[in-house]
Amino acid sequence: MEVEIIEPNVSSFIKSLRDIGYTFEIAVADILDNSISANARNIEIHVEKTPYQALCILDDGDGMNEDTLREAMRISTIDPDAERDSNDLGRFSLGLKTASYSQCTLLTVISKSNSSEISAKQWDLDKVSKLNKWALNSLNEWDVKELFGSLGDSSLMERLKEQNSGTLVVWQKLDRFEDNSLSRKLTELREHLSLVFHRFLEGTHKSNKVNISINNKKLIPFNPFYKSTAKEKDIFYSDYSQNKKVIVKGHVLPSYSSKETNPEEYNRYGTSDGYSRSQGCYLYRSNRIISYASWWRIVKSQDANQLVRFEIDISNDQDKEWGITVTKSGFGITPPAVIREDLKIKFKNVIRTGRGIIVGRKINNKSHVRLWQLFRNNDKQNSFVVNQDHPLLLDLKSKAGKEFSKILDVYIHSLEAYMPVKDITREQINNPIDFKEAMDLEKKELNNQIKKFISQGLSKEEIEFLVGSEGFDEEVFKNE
C-alpha cells in the first residue's frame, strides 16, 4: 500500500475556519473562557471605534511565556480527548483562533507570566492566504508600539506592563458587521455575557468571582432563575458512566400578578426575547452556560410554559455525550438518549405547577354569586356561561317584558358562544402588565343601583346575597 501525503490548501482552509457557526457575542465569550480558565479575576473588553474599529480584551490571569504563547496560537495544540482540570472551560484548543478568525482577519495576542517578559504573536489572515502557509508573526517592542499607535490608545498595553501577569487579545480588521451596527452588537454582547457567565460574576456555585466590563461599564449578572420557586433537584447518573452525573433543578418564575414582582423586574427577567422564547433548559458546563431556552424537543414550547425554566449542570468531560462543539453553542447540543425519558417526566411535573401559576384567578373565589360560571355538558366539555342567578340579571328580567326577555336571552347566549377565550388567554400570558382583567365599574352607577335595591325593602338575607355578588363593592354598599 502506498501512502500519499496531501497537505491542505491553507488559503482555502482558513476561509472555512471562519464560518463554523460563531456570532459576535459567542466569539467574545469563547475568548473569555480562556481568561477564566487562566484564573483571571478581572476582564476588560474595549471596543475602539476610531480611527479603526477594533476590539481588545485584557485579563489579569496567569498569562503565558513565549513558548506557551506560540503553542496557544497553534491550531488545536491540545488533544481534545486529553483529561482536563474540572474547571477548564475549553476542550478543542481552537477557541482563541476560530473565535477570532470568525470576526477579524488580524489577531494579535500579547502576554506575560510571573516569570517572563512580554511576548506578542500575530495571525494576519491576509498574509496566510497570500503565502498559503501558516505564517505566524512574532512582534517586537516596536511592532507592538506601532500597533497601539494605529489604534490611538495604548492604555491597555500600559496596564498589562504594570500587571504581574495577564493576556491582551486584539482584534483588528473586523469584517463581519457594519460600523453602524456596533451599538446594537454591544447591547447583545452585554446581555449574552451577563447571562452566560452570571455564576462567575456572582461568585456562586464554588466558582471564582470574576469582574467583567465593557468599555469601562461593569456587567451586572443576569440569573435566569431570579426569585423563582425552586423544586427539589434530581441527580441522574447516566448509563454512559456512573462517574458522570447530570444535576437537574426545575424552576417556576413568579407571575406578574405576584406581589413581589414589579413591571421593571418582570420585563427584565423575561429577557429581550420575551418569556415565551426564554422558557426551557439552561445547560451549565463547569458553571458556564452553553445552551439556553431550549426544550430539546422533549416537550413542546408553549405560551402556557413560559414561566418554567430548568437549571441543568454537567461536568466538562461529557462533551461527546451532549454533542458539544467548538463554539459551545448551537442546535447540535442535546441530552444523551439514556436520560431523555427521565427528563421528560421531570419537565412535565414542573410544567404542571408553572401552568397553575399562570392561569390567573380561581373559579371558586370568595364571591357568592359570580357573573360567569363554569358549565359542563353531557359530553363532558367545559364552557363558561352567564350566571342566570346574578341579582342584576334577575332584576333586569323582572322588569322586562316577554319579548324583551327573549331578545336578552339571545344576546346572552351569543356572548357565551363567542367568548374570546383564546384572545383573553393570549393577552393574559403575553402582555400581563398591559392586560386589565376587568373594566372599572363606575361607583356612581353602583350607588344608584344599590339605592334602588334598598328602596325595594330588601331583607337582611337579600342584602348579604347582593353584597356577595360579583360586580358590587362591599364598602360602597356599606356607605349607602
One domain, residues 214 and 72: yes
**Could you tell me if residue 224 is inside a domain?**
no
Q: Which of 1-5, 116-120, 255-259 has the highest mean pLDDT?
A: 116-120
If you search the block for the grid coordinates 483562533, which residue do you land on?
A: 97
Distance CA 108, CA 124 (A): 8
For residue 365, what pLDDT band results from cuts at 50, 70 and 90?
very low
The mean pLDDT of the chain is 81
- How many other CB atoms sit within 10 Å of the CB of residue 236? 18
Q: What burial class does residue 164 get, using C-beta atoms within 10 Å of its C-beta: 0-12 exposed, 13-18 middle, 19+ buried? A: exposed
Would you mind telling me the total number of residues written for the chain in this entry? 480
Among 147-151, 205-209, 237-241, 414-418, which is the least confidently predicted range? 237-241
pLDDT of residue 199: 97
Whether the bond between 391 and the residue before it is cis, its omega within 30 degrees of 0, is no
One domain, residues 157 and 271: no
For residue 116, what pLDDT band results from cuts at 50, 70 and 90?
very high
One domain, residues 200 and 53: yes
Angle at 314 between CA 309 and CA 320, to 5 degrees: 115
Q: Which of 237-251, 336-350, 391-405 has the highest mean pLDDT?
A: 336-350
For residue 259, what pLDDT band results from cuts at 50, 70 and 90?
low
pLDDT of residue 263: 78
Prediction pTM value: 0.75
> Which range of residues forms the domain containing residue 389?
372-479
Domain count, the chain: 3
Distance CA 84, CA 91 (A): 8
**Could you tell me if residue 94 is inside a domain?**
yes
Among residues 367, 374, 410, the alpha carbon closest in space to that of 390 is found at 367
What amino acid is encoded at 464 in this protein?
E
For residue 228, what pLDDT band results from cuts at 50, 70 and 90?
confident
**Final residue before a domain boundary, out of 167, 183, 218:** 218
Residue 52: pLDDT over 70: no
One domain, residues 37 and 153: yes
One domain, residues 199 and 238: no
Q: Which three cell numbers stand for residue 462?
A: 337579600
One domain, residues 189 and 302: no
Q: pLDDT tens digits for 198-225?
A: 999 999 999 999 999 999 999 999 999 9
One domain, residues 53 and 85: yes
pLDDT of residue 82: 52
Residue 448: pLDDT over 80: no
Q: What burial class does residue 362 get, using C-beta atoms within 10 Å of its C-beta: 0-12 exposed, 13-18 middle, 19+ buried? A: exposed
Rounded average pLDDT over 307-326: 88
pLDDT of residue 360: 46
**Could you tell me if residue 364 is inside a domain?**
no
One domain, residues 276 and 417: no
Residue 282: pLDDT over 70: yes
One domain, residues 114 and 213: yes
**Could you tell me if residue 4 is inside a domain?**
no
**Could you tell me if residue 147 is inside a domain?**
yes
Q: Which of 148-157, 194-203, 274-283 has the highest mean pLDDT?
A: 194-203
Residue 358: pLDDT over 60: no
Among 61-65, 300-304, 456-460, which is the least confidently predicted range? 456-460
One domain, residues 15 and 62: yes
* DSSP bridge partners of 108: 122, 170
One domain, residues 167 and 241: no
**Final residue before a domain boundary, out of 299, 334, 358:** 358
**Final residue before a domain boundary, out of 218, 244, 268:** 218
Residue 299: pLDDT over 80: yes
For residue 120, what pLDDT band results from cuts at 50, 70 and 90?
very high
Q: pLDDT tens digits for 154-183?
A: 899 999 999 999 999 999 999 887 767 788
* Dihedral of the alpha carbons of 93, 99, 101, 107, in degrees to the nearest 10: -80
Rounded average pLDDT over 260-268: 77
**Could you tell me if residue 2 is inside a domain?**
no
pLDDT of residue 18: 87
pLDDT of residue 476: 46
Q: What's the CATH number where 134 sits?
A: 3.30.565.10
**Could you tell me if residue 350 is inside a domain?**
yes
Q: What's the CATH number where 341 sits?
A: 3.30.230
> What is the 8-class DSSP label of residue 299?
S
One domain, residues 51 and 125: yes
**Could you tell me if residue 130 is inside a domain?**
yes
* DSSP bridge partners of 119: 111
